[in-house]
């Protein structure tokens, strides 16, 4: 909670950067400057600049099609898999440009995990789902270590008690909420430092949603979490900072409390008061 | 937004790369290599499949292209009235019955004069195809005024002669001019030629070398067979070894006299306007048979006569030495003419390769496909409309659905069995008829058309149908007036693909007897007929090398038609593709 | 005659249409909108009634006329009790009638042919007359119902519904036809007491010798016939295995490349190539196998000191493999594309490379579909006829050596049934028994494959 409290005092980004390195203050984990995204002819994201502080939850909100998911997918270069997509501008993680030609997207994604809107467990056993990442990245030297990683990841995703006796069951046999936590465990198993969540609760019921939100609260201590959400309540509940996107542009960003209580821009005001969206 | 900083990636002065550990880096490299390998496998699989296609088509083009050309002899044929129409009646039946072959042969004899002896004359006459007489007959019947004149007429050559001119015979090598004076003992028959110099010595060396080459070939063959363990192999090895030994002895013996046989290249002497095939020769004399008569038995001056070698041994080619001599003579006299082989498209099947054509097969294919499309298209489309739009969900509909999907994969030969048992034996329909063939093929392509039509109907959005129902149309009106016309391009595409499939189908038609040898072009749906793929199969089985080229040429025609059909289907699909 | 009948049918049908439509317009008078159905439906109803009844008369009448003609022909022969002999005699008669008979014609045959001709002419005339009568009656019935209130459209649509159902039922009837003909003859092959020289079911299924050629003449000596199915099955499977060994890797890797690696442009250029390969008639591939591939393989074998048969299983198998590459690749391409994008995203988001994603996520997920694709390809290979007819052998060698010549089920069916055959000999019926086995094997493979594919589709829909 300390992080959040300190960050509340900061209203301007440059100041935040100046505080980099000081103990107890959040460093900037991801920094985006002037990012434009095109899908073929379509200009999907216009000149977006964002700072995402380390070890906290940042939420992107906005109406459908506003570009928030597109931006999220830029952070681990998932947009590379869409052949018509073109990204310009600069995004850095820990100060290093991730669109540098030397950066290997495969390696990048092992540091930036992602959880999707619809739970997408592989049609394999629960164990294999979690073990898949560590295996391809050779994170475990032997079976015992792999077992440990799987157990630790499932525990961190608070799924372990529910599945420890049925690790060989298919991942698709779980309930929706369990599947989503399995996907989180799968992402954690690779040991990333950033986790991107693209509307992770939109296909879940309220109870499952509450569990995921609890989980995010726990994970915040060790990971930088970026969440795209439709629900303003969720953004208010889980995040310390919020960015509001509208029609491909970033309208406003800042402390969650400030955005929801005292937004600067009229469009943000209209959105959070439910005039559109 | 408080600030907007436009920065390009990789700008100098800023750290661009988080440090990645060396071992992780190495592993990443290996993983990317694995990915590249996978990609390469995929690409090479595709390249291999394409390569196969290219080799297949290139092979058939190379084999088939010669069949589109035919060689003819341009000879002055005396259309003698006393042979064609001695009574001067000039009526059709007389003109049709006349012996035109005699006239053609006469013309050929005057182009290669002096050929005597029954065998030699037969060999000369065999150069002409029986089609030459047919062409003459057609010409005279069409224009009886020609009788009595001597027009220059193209006379069709036999298949072996035609193949010879296409390069499938032997190379003819002209030797150097001789230095001595040659004295032939006669002008025809078996003669001896004496030379004042040792002019034959060089040929003798060539012959010995050919003997040694054959010995070496025999030894290699013996060695190969020696490794195999089939019945009779040791005996064959012994035989080969023995003959190799004999040949070696002959080859290395002092150069005195040598006997040539049909397994060695043929050696000939050209002098006094004639050609002598050497059977036995020493350093300065040769004995052999006259192939083309000499003009005189006078001495030939040095430099006026020479040796000629047919490099391919007579035993392993289809055309005899004498025929080669005749053909070479005709060629050097400028009598040979090359033209596009129209007969291939205008004639029916024949036992003579040079006369055989694909017209009968093409007409048979058209009649058969006509029956197929007239039955399969309406039935297939209506069945698809029923299944897609009207069928209630019950066991019967399910049964039909399963049936159609399974029928699409039933081997075509089973449809042939069905046709044989039901159409021929139960209903007593005629064998070999396009009617039955068409019906069998209709059943065969029915699933294709039904599946394509259902896909096309599915692609029309339900809102169209709802709109029609909304203005008070009945369900049938909505579908037949609105949905079906919109689905038409898709249905047509499916129908064309189905027809292309039917056009290339062979096996079921063999079952219902469309394999008979049929010379006439079929005129009706119940007459005996054959189709193009079956014609290809029939020709491919024949031993004559000329039929091999015909087969490949017929395949080229079939493939061309199929490409046009499939191309049309793709064009239709592209042109009418509609996104709702 | 059939042509005449069709012309008359068309005439009557169009006459019924025009007359009825005019009548409907006449009945409606000036107020056309009072009619329940448009005049065109009154016309269509009358003509449909005429058409259907005339077609029904033809379908029933023609076989009856043939039966009658055959009966009158056979009655001219003094001795025609044996069904086998009867069919031989009928063939002679048919040949005489169509003028295809060569050589001397027996007096009895001549008389029979005359009787046959007379009877068939009479029968056809009766059919034509009856058809016209009944067709006209049906059209008149439709004509008579015309009134302002009459719901002609509903009646016509009912007929159309019936026609639609009938068209759909033809597919089911085809399967029934296959079962009826092929299974019926197969039953006779095993159990008909009139057939001599037939094997027992056990001998057929497990016999290791296949030789259906009975001695034709006395001087050929004793050639014992044998109907052992095993060598044919082994030969078929040997060629199929070779084909799958060629087509499996090539087809699957082609599909993987097209679905996962190729850019849309490359995909657009390479996919048609495979479609062209799929469109090449098998008789062309057979020619290529027999005249180019087989000599090539034989030549290679000789340079390595191997004894290769000129009709080796390898040559036929390799070319058949080329034939089924498009089946495997296009079906596999479909199932790989059906794997949801979310699974790919999940894997890429974990930092997997494309190859890792394909091998560990996509292929396992698509496995049932790929298995089905292979099963369909195997069923194709087993049922393929022309390639093996032209490039494989006739002798039923029981061997697993791909360099030897083997024969297949389809080759034997073709060999037995092409050319002159007596319909009721064990040899001919053996071909139907083989056809039945072929139908059964391929049906089973297809049915299982389609079940797998449907299950697979449901999983991802």
Q: What is the DSSP string of A219-267?
A: HTTTSEEEEE-S-HHHHHHH-SEEEEEETTEEEEEEEHHHHHHS-SSHH
- Check residue C420 and give its pLDDT: 63
A122-131, C22-31, C115-124, C385-394: which range is least confident on average?
C22-31
Q: Report the neighbours of B using a cutoff of 3 or more CB pairs below 8 angstroms.
A: A, C
Q: Specify the pLDDT at position A17.
A: 41
Averaged confidence pLDDT in chain C: 84
pLDDT tens digit string along C297-325? 988 888 777 778 888 899 999 999 999 99
Query: Residue A105 above 50 pLDDT?
Result: yes
- C178 to chain B: closest CA residue: B418
Say whether pLDDT at A3 is over 50.
no
- Is residue C228 classed as helix, strand or coil in its secondary structure? coil
- Among A33, A47, A107, the residue with its CB nearest the CB of B20 is A107
Give the pLDDT of residue B11. 41
Most confident stretch, B218-227, B372-381, B487-496, C24-33? B372-381
Question: CB neighbours (10 Å) of residue B145?
Answer: 8
Query: Among residues 54-83 of chain C, which lie with CB inside 8 Å of chain B?
Result: 63, 66, 70
- CB-CB neighbours of A167 under 10 Å: 18
Q: What is the b/e burial string over C332-364, where b = at least 16 CB atoms within 10 angstroms of the residue's CB?
A: bbbbbebbeeebbbbbbbbbbbbbbbbbbbbbb
pLDDT tens per residue across span C147-176: 777 887 888 888 888 999 888 888 888 888
**How many other β-carbons are positioned within 10 Å of the β-carbon of residue A149?**
21
| Structure confidence by residue, pLDDT tens digits, A31-58 | 999 999 998 888 999 999 999 999 999 9
Residues sharing a CB contact under 8 Å with residue B125, sequence separation 6 or more, in sequence order: B105, B108
Please check the confidence at residue A75 and state whether its pLDDT lies above 80. yes
| For C352, nearest residue in chain A (alpha carbons) | A106
Q: How confident is the model at residue B20 (pLDDT cuts 50, 70, 90)?
A: low
Percent of chain B with pLDDT over 70: 95
Q: How far is A125 from chain B (nearest CA, A)?
A: 24
Sheet holding A28-39, edge to edge: A42-53, A28-39, A85-93, A96-97
| Minimal C-alpha gap between A100 and chain B (Å) | 6
pLDDT digits (tens, 9 = 90+) for B416-438: 989 888 888 777 777 888 899 99
Determine the Cα angle at C386 with ends C371 and C180, to 5°.
75
* Residue B220 in contact with partner chain C when CB distance is under 8 A: no
Residue C399 near residue C314, CB atoms below 8 Å:
no
pLDDT value, residue B580: 58
Whether B566 sits inside 8 A of C160 (CB atoms) is no
Contact at CB, C349 and A123, closer than 8 angstroms: no
Q: Does B420 touch chain C (CB under 8 A)?
A: yes
Report yes or no: A94 at the B interface, CB cutoff 8 Å.
yes
Answer for the pair B517, B459: CB distance below 8 angstroms, yes or no: no
What is the nearest CA distance from A236 to chain B, expressed in angstroms? 20
Alpha-carbon separation of residue A264 from A164, A239, A252, A267, B2 (angstroms) = 49, 19, 8, 9, 11
Name every chain A residue with its beta carbon within 8 A of the beta carbon of B24. Answer: 107
C-alpha to C-alpha distance for A254 and A242, rounded to whole angstroms: 6
Range from A217-226, B429-438, B552-561 carrying the lowest mean pLDDT: B429-438
- pLDDT per residue over C370-422, tens digit each? 999 999 999 999 999 999 999 988 878 888 888 888 899 999 898 888 866 66
Task: Please give the Cα distance from B535 to C283 (Å, whole number).
Answer: 10
Q: Is A221 on the interface with B (CB under 8 A)?
A: no
CB-count burial class (<10 Å; 0-12, 13-18, 19+) for C223: exposed
The answer, yes or no, to whether residue B1 has pLDDT greater than 70, is no
Pairwise CA distance, residues C431 & C417, whole Å: 7
Contact B172, B308 (CB under 8 A): yes
Mean predicted lDDT score pLDDT of chain B:
84
Confidence of residue C84 (pLDDT cuts 50, 70, 90): low
Does C349 sit within 8 Å of A122, measured CB to CB?
no
Q: Does C350 touch chain A (CB under 8 A)?
A: yes
Give me the percent of chain B exceeding a pLDDT of 90.
Answer: 21
- For tokens 């592989």, the residue is A122
A20 pLDDT higher than 50: no
pLDDT band of A7, cuts 50, 70, 90: very low
Of the candidate ranges B23-27, C92-96, C382-386, the one whose mean pLDDT is the lowest: C92-96
Set of chain A residues whose Cβ sits within 8 Å of the Cβ of B2: 12-14
Of A109, A118, A183, the CB nearest to C351: A109
pLDDT at B43: 92
Q: Decide if pLDDT at B8 tops 60.
A: no
Q: Measured between alpha carbons, how far is B18 from A111 in angstroms, rounded to an integer? A: 11
Tokens coding C334: 């479909």
Total CB pairs under 8 A between chain A and C: 70
Contacts of C among chains (3+ CB pairs under 8 A): A, B
Residue C219 pLDDT: 52
Interchain proximity A103–B14, CB inside 8 Å: no
Cross-chain residue pair A89–B24, CB shorter than 8 Å? no
Q: Which residue is listed with tokens 């699974």?
A: C343
Average pLDDT over every residue of C209-228: 64
Who has greater pLDDT, C417 or B198? C417
3-state secondary structure of B238: helix
How high is the pLDDT of residue C378? 93
Instruction: Indicate if the pLDDT at residue C191 is higher than 50.
Output: yes
Chain B residue closest to A36 (CA)?
A: B6
pTM of the complete model: 0.84
Q: Does C165 touch chain B (CB under 8 A)?
A: yes
Query: Which residues of C fall within a CB distance of 8 Å from B447?
Result: 171
Residue B453 pLDDT class (50, 70, 90 cuts): very high
Q: How far apart are CA B455 and CA B404, in angstroms?
A: 14
Taken in order B479, B482, B487, B489, the sign of the CA dihedral is positive
B553 pLDDT band, cuts 50/70/90, is very high
SS3 string, B257-272, reads EEECCCCCCEEEEEEC
Task: State the average pLDDT over residues C91-119.
Answer: 77
Tally Cβ neighbours within 10 Å of residue B289: 18
Can you spell out the DSSP letters for B364-406?
A: HHHHHHHHHHHHHHHHHHHHHHIIIII--SSHHHHHHHHHHHH
Please give the residue that has the higher pLDDT: either A2 or B470: B470
Residue A170, helix vs strand vs coil: strand
What residues pair up with B307 in beta bridges, in sequence order? B269
Contact (CB, 8 A) for C124 and C1:
yes
Flag whether residue C435 sits within 8 Å of chain B, measured between CB atoms: yes
pLDDT of residue A2 exceeding 70:
no
Is the pLDDT reported for residue A25 higher than 60?
no
Given a cut of 90, is residue B62 above it in pLDDT?
yes
Least confident range of B21-25, B378-382, B399-403: B21-25
How far apart CA B144 and CA B147 sit, in angstroms, is 6
Amino acid B382: pLDDT: 93
- The answer to whether residues B503 and B562 touch, using CB atoms and an 8 Å cutoff, is yes
Window from A257-266, B120-129, C216-225 with minimum mean pLDDT? C216-225
* Mean pLDDT computed over C217-233: 69
B506 and C386: CB-CB below 8 Å? yes
Does the distance separating the beta carbons of A137 and C349 come in below 8 Å?
no
Q: What is the pLDDT of residue A277?
A: 59
Asked if pLDDT for residue A273 goes beyond 60, the answer is yes
Q: Which is nearest to A94 in space by CA: A116, A73, A75?
A: A75
């Amino acid at each position: 909670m300390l992080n959040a409290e300190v960050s509340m005092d900061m209203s301007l980004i440059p100041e935040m950067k100046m505080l980099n390195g000081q103990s107890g203050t959040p460093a900037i984990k991801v920094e985006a400057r002037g990012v434009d995204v095109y899908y073929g002819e379509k200009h999907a994201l216009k000149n977006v600049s964002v700072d995402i502080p380390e070890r906290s939850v940042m939420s992107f909100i906005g109406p459908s099609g506003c570009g928030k998911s597109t931006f999220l997918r830029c952070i681990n270069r998932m947009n590379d898999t869409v052949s018509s997509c073109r990204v310009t501008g600069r995004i850095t993680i820990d100060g290093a440009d991730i669109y540098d030609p030397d950066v290997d997207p495969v390696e990048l994604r092992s540091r930036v995990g992602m959880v999707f809107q619809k739970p997408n467990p592989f049609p394999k056993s629960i164990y294999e789902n979690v073990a898949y990442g560590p295996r391809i990245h050779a994170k475990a030297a032997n079976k015992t270590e792999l077992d440990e990683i799987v157990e630790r990841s499932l525990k961190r995703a608070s799924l372990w008690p529910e599945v420890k006796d049925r690790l060989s069951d298919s991942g698709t046999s779980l309930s929706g909420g369990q599947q989503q936590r399995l996907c989180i465990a799968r992402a954690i198993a690779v040991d990333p430092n950033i986790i991107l969540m693209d509307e992770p609760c939109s296909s879940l019921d309220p109870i499952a949603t509450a569990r995921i939100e609890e989980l995010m609260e726990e994970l915040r201590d060790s990971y930088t979490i970026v969440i795209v959400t439709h629900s303003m309540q969720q953004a208010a509940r889980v995040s310390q900072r919020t960015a509001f996107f509208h029609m491909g542009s970033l309208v406003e960003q800042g402390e969650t409390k400030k955005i929801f209580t005292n937004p600067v821009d009229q469009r943000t005001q209209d959105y959070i008061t439910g005039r559109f969206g | 937004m408080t600030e907007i900083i436009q920065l390009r990636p990789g700008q100098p002065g800023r750290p661009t790369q988080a440090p990645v550990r060396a071992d992780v880096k190495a592993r990443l490299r290996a993983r990317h290599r694995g990915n590249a390998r996978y990609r390469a496998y995929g690409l090479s699989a595709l390249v291999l499949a394409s390569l196969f296609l290219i080799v297949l088509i290139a092979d058939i083009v190379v084999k088939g292209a010669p069949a589109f050309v035919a060689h003819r002899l341009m000879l002055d044929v005396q259309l003698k009235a006393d042979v064609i129409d001695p009574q001067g009646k000039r009526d059709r039946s007389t003109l049709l019955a006349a012996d035109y072959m005699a006239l053609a042969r006469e013309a050929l004899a005057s182009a290669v004069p002096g050929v005597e002896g029954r065998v030699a004359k037969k060999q000369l006459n065999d150069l002409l195809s029986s089609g030459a007489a047919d062409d003459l007959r057609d010409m005279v019947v069409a224009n009886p005024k020609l009788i009595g004149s001597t027009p220059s007429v193209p006379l069709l050559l036999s298949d072996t002669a035609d193949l010879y001119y296409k390069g499938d015979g032997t190379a003819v090598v002209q030797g150097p001019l001789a230095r001595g004076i040659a004295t032939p003992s006669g002008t025809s028959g078996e003669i001896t030629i004496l030379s004042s110099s040792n002019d034959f010595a060089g040929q003798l060396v060539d012959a010995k070398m050919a003997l040694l080459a054959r010995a070496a070939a025999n030894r290699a063959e013996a060695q190969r067979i020696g490794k195999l363990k089939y019945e009779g192999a040791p005996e064959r090895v012994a035989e080969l070894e023995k003959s190799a030994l004999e040949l070696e002895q002959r080859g290395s013996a002092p150069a005195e006299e040598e006997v040539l046989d049909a397994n060695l290249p043929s050696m000939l002497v050209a002098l006094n306007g004639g050609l002598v095939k050497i059977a036995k020769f020493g350093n300065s004399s040769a004995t052999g048979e006259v192939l083309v008569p000499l003009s005189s038995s006078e001495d030939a001056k040095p430099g006026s006569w020479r040796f000629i070698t047919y490099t391919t041994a007579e035993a392993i080619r289809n055309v005899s030495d004498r025929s080669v001599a005749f053909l070479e003579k005709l060629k050097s006299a400028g009598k040979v003419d090359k033209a596009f082989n129209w007969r291939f498209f205008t004639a029916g099947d024949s036992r003579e390769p040079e006369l055989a054509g694909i017209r009968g097969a093409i007409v048979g294919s058209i009649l058969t496909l006509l029956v197929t499309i007239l039955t399969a298209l309406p039935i297939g489309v209506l069945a698809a409309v029923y299944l897609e739009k009207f069928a209630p969900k019950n066991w019967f509909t399910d049964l039909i659905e399963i049936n159609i999907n399974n029928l699409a994969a039933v081997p075509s030969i089973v449809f042939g069995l069905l046709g044989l048992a039901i159409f021929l034996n139960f209903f007593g329909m005629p064998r070999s008829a396009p009617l039955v063939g068409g019906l069998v093929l209709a059943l065969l392509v029915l699933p294709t058309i039904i599946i394509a039509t259902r896909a096309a109907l599915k692609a029309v959005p339900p809102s169209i149908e709802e709109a029609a129902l909304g203005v008070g149309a009945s369900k049938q009106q909505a579908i037949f007036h609105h949905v079906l016309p919109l689905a038409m391009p898709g249905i047509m595409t499916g129908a064309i693909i189905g027809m292309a499939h039917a056009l290339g189908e062979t096996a079921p038609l063999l079952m219902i007897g469309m394999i008979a040898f049929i010379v006439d072009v079929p005129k009706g749906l119940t007459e005996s007929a054959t189709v193009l793929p079956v014609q290809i199969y029939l020709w491919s089985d024949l031993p004559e090398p000329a039929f091999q080229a015909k087969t490949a040429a017929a395949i080229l025609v079939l493939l061309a038609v199929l490409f046009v059909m499939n191309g049309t289907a793709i064009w239709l699909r592209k042109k009418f593709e509609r996104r709702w | 005659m059939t042509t005449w009948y069709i012309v008359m049918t068309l005439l009557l049908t169009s006459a019924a249409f025009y007359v009825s439509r005019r009548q409907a317009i006449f009945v409606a008078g000036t107020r056309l909108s009072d009619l329940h159905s448009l005049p065109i439906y009154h016309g269509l109803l009358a003509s449909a009634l005429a058409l259907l009844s005339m077609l029904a008369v033809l379908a029933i009448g023609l076989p009856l006329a043939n039966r009658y003609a055959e009966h009158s022909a056979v009655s001219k022969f003094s001795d025609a009790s044996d069904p086998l002999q009867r069919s031989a005699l009928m063939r002679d008669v048919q040949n005489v009638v169509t003028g295809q008979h060569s050589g001397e014609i027996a007096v009895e045959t001549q008389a029979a042919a005359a009787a046959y001709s007379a009877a068939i002419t009479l029968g056809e005339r009766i059919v034509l007359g009856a058809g016209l009568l009944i067709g006209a009656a049906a059209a008149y019935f439709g004509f008579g119902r015309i009134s302002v209130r009459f719901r002609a459209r509903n009646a016509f649509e009912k007929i159309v519904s019936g026609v639609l159902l009938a068209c759909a039922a033809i597919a089911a009837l085809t399967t029934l036809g296959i079962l009826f003909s092929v299974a019926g003859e197969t039953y006779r092959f095993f159990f008909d007491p009139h057939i001599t020289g037939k094997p027992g079911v056990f001998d057929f299924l497990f016999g290791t010798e296949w030789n259906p050629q009975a001695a034709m003449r006395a001087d050929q000596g004793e050639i014992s016939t044998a109907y052992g199915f095993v060598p044919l099955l082994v030969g078929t499977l040997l060629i199929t295995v070779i084909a799958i060994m060629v087509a499996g890797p090539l087809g699957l890797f082609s599909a993987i490349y097209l679905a996962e690696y190729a850019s849309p442009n490359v995909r657009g250029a390479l996919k048609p190539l495979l479609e062209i390969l799929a469109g090449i008639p098998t008789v062309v591939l057979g020619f290529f196998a027999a005249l180019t591939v087989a000599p090539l393989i034989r030549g290679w074998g000789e340079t390595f000191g191997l004894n290769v048969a000129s009709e080796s299983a390898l040559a036929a198998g390799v070319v058949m493999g080329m034939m089924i590459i498009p089946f495997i690749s296009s079906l596999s391409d479909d199932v790989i594309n059906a794997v949801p994008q979310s699974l790919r995203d999940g894997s890429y988001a974990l930092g997997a490379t494309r190859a890792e994603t394909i091998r560990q996520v996509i292929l396992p997920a698509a496995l049932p579909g790929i298995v089905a694709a292979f099963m369909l390809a195997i069923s194709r290979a087993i049922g393929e006829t022309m390639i093996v007819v032209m490039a494989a052998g006739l002798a039923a060698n029981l061997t697993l050596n791909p360099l030897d010549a083997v024969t297949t089920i389809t080759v034997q069916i073709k060999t037995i049934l092409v050319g002159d055959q007596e319909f009721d000999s064990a040899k001919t019926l053996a071909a139907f028994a083989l056809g039945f086995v072929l139908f059964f094997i391929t049906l089973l493979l297809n049915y299982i494959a389609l079940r797998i594919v449907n299950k697979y589709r449901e999983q991802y829909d």
